[in-house]
Structure 1
């Protein structure tokens, strides 16, 4: 099932932003990456801080098959594929909504 897994927020200073958002939301840094903040209790939407990327949603799915299916469904709803330079082994596909806002469909498997 497609779900919001993370909000990627563009920042000018990840360290300063992380301190603010950790305290504001009572989130904890993910041990592997202190710029990825997670709820301290239970499931919830992560906050990824990024000084280079645009603010956008990461929508998560649990398999490659589900990713393909959801991408086609979203396109049928009016989303469009975005011309993007992907790194090797990318687990995400970049789309734009009907207003041009970017979002990613991420295979978390």
Structure 2
């Protein structure tokens, strides 16, 4: 399985998601795409696809990044260019909703 994320600024999002996920660009990218793969070779490939239309509404699907230390990971992602949208505590757990540099929402939670 692969996940594809539409974007406008391919290089900015490729740099952000590579650092955020500890991924790298391991092969030549097709025109209009950036292919990001897990540095350890295990996991799902993330494709970034340049599209002409802007993002206008909330994502209908998002990524959940599960980590041991939510607060530390949120701070790391903010330093990479993410924006904090909301924090939640429910169901006995805490998670933060962030957005990447183009406004694509994703969550960071305990896992």
Normalised by the shorter chain, which TM-score bucket? 0.3 to 0.5
Question: TM-score, normalized by length of structure 1?
Answer: 0.43
